[in-house]
Amino acid sequence: MKFEVLTLFPDIFNAVMRESIVGRAQENGIVEVNAVNIRDYSKDKHRKVDDYPFGGGTGMVMTCQPVIDAYEDLTKDLETKPRVIYMSPQGRVLTQDMAKELSEEKHLILLCGHYEGIDERIIEEIVDEEISIGDYVLTGGELPAMVLIDCVSRLLQGVLASEDSYSEESHFNGLLEYPQYTRPADYKGNKVPEILLSGHHANIEKWKMEQSLERTKLKRPDMYEAYQKKL
Ligand SMILES: O=C(NCc1ccc(CNCc2ncc[nH]2)cc1)c1csc2nc[nH]c(=O)c12
């Protein structure tokens, strides 16, 4: 899967996307992350990529020309145009279901805004979908793009050590995770639940499900509600 990111800060991506799971996925060719610097496409003599907003208002807006020209350059030789996602505070909030859907794509272009946003005509011309990562205000679309790349990449075949590790994972089966324990079995008198040391797999699976349901009901009644409806 190829992610091409249109950003003003390509170095951030190169630093982060080389690490850990996504980094390994890139090494073994499952994922490719190509950060493209929008500024390289500016025709302005000072390489400007933003300008003052019409109608007043604080802050600056990203201009059309560099972004559209970067997009044209990335897609000029492609017979099928890849899906373009604009990381935006006004977008649909990213969920595990959306990540699953996106993991089926072969090639995605992620557009990262900065300043107060981007000229609306960019959205009209090249954007297929706007995605937010949550209802809080960040300084730009770079971190949201990396969050999307991380959660989509984990779903690709061969990225995670064991496929079932994500299928059990919370948010995947619609419930929160059961409590996790590792050695020692007794830490300063605080013991691991007996059931987990019993080796009785059927009972252990039952206990994990009960714990997931109980925790979801307590911590995320909204998820619990949705889960009950899907039953
Ligand atoms: O680009 C992002 N944020 C930068 C940012 C934050 C606030 C504003 C709005 N400015 C006010 C306004 N509107 C109209 C005129 N003036 C614009 C851009 C972002 C991408 S995905 C995401 N997901 C969660 N949170 C986020 O911030 C993001």
- Asked whether residue 138 is marked as a ligand-binding residue, the answer is yes
Check pocket membership of 111 for ligand 1, CB cut-off 6 A.
Answer: no
Q: Which 3 state secondary structure label does DSSP give 172?
A: coil
Please state the pTM of the whole predicted model: 0.91
pLDDT at 161: 77
Distance 198 CA to ligand 1 centre (A): 51
* HEC letters along 69-92: HHHHHHHCCCCCCCEEEEEEEEEE
Check pocket membership of 87 for ligand 1, CB cut-off 6 A.
Answer: yes
Q: Do the beta carbons of residue 216 and residue 223 sit within 8 Å?
A: yes
pLDDT at 167: 55
ipTM reported for the complex surpasses 0.85? yes
Q: What's the CATH number of domain 2-153, 3.40.1280.10, 3.65.10.10, 2.40.110.10, 3.40.30.10?
A: 3.40.1280.10
Pick from 183, 38, 163, 63: which is nearest to 103 by CA? 163
Ligand 1 nearest atom to the CA of residue 115, by list position: 18
Task: List all residues 6 or more positions away from 9 whose beta carbon is below 8 Å from its beta carbon.
Answer: 112, 114, 140, 142
pLDDT at 160: 85
> What is the pLDDT tens value at each position of the chain, 231 positions in all?
999 999 999 999 988 998 888 898 989 999 999 999 999 999 999 999 999 999 999 999 999 999 999 999 999 999 999 999 999 999 999 999 999 999 999 999 999 999 899 999 999 999 999 999 999 999 999 999 999 999 999 999 888 877 655 555 556 689 999 999 999 999 999 999 999 999 999 999 999 999 999 999 999 999 999 999 988
According to CATH, the superfamily of the domain at 168-230 is tRNA(m1g37)methyltransferase, domain 2 (1.10.1270.20)
pLDDT at 94: 98
Structure tokens at 229: 């409806």
How far does Cα 143 stand from its chain's mean position? 9
Number of Cβ atoms within 10 Å of the Cβ of 169: 14
Structure tokens at 96: 């595990």
Backbone angles phi, psi at 162, to 5 degrees: -115, 130
> What are the sequence ranges of the domains in the chain?
2-153, 168-230
| DSSP symbols for 128-143 | SEEEES-SS--S-SHH
Check pocket membership of 144 for ligand 1, CB cut-off 6 A.
Answer: yes
